[in-house]
Amino acid sequence: MRTIGNKGFTLIELLVVVTIIGILAGIAIEQFAAYRQKGYDAQAISDLRNAAKAEEAYFATQLQFIVCTSAAACAAALPGLNVSLNTSMAMGIVGTTDFMGTATSSKGTGITCHWDSSSGGFLGCS
């Protein structure tokens, strides 16, 4: 006759493993949310840089800049510009040969990024 041995895990061992996995998952989810917000901020920076390039291209052919107060208006007025859904943007004129712009992501960390062509371009985010 064969006897059945004690194979498997005890309830305590299983509870310890589940607890450890829960702690690790909690840490990972929190970090993931922060990384997503930084990703949305990077998306807003990219949209602002693309808008600046579109402004420069438009000025090269039309000798004027576009003023827009929303991302949709900027995308409609500037040829080739596509703005992400979560990005709000505004572009304005500084003098006759310079422009400025701001962009922020509604899902980001809440920072606003700035572009000023008279000061050399991208000024950073605050």
Structure tokens at 25: 């998952």
Given a cut of 60, whether residue 119 has pLDDT beyond it is yes
Q: By the 8 A CB rule, do 59 and 77 touch?
A: no
For residue 88, how far is the Cα from the chain centroid? 11
Given a cut of 70, whether residue 10 has pLDDT beyond it is yes
Tell me which CATH code domain 11-125 carries: 3.30.1300.70
Q: Which of 19-23, 36-40, 71-75, 96-100 has the lowest mean pLDDT?
A: 96-100
Structure tokens at 7: 């194979």
Higher per-residue confidence, 9 vs 104: 104
Given a cut of 90, whether residue 1 has pLDDT beyond it is no
- pLDDT value, residue 99: 95
Judge if pTM exceeds 0.75. yes
Domain definitions of the chain by residue range = 11-125
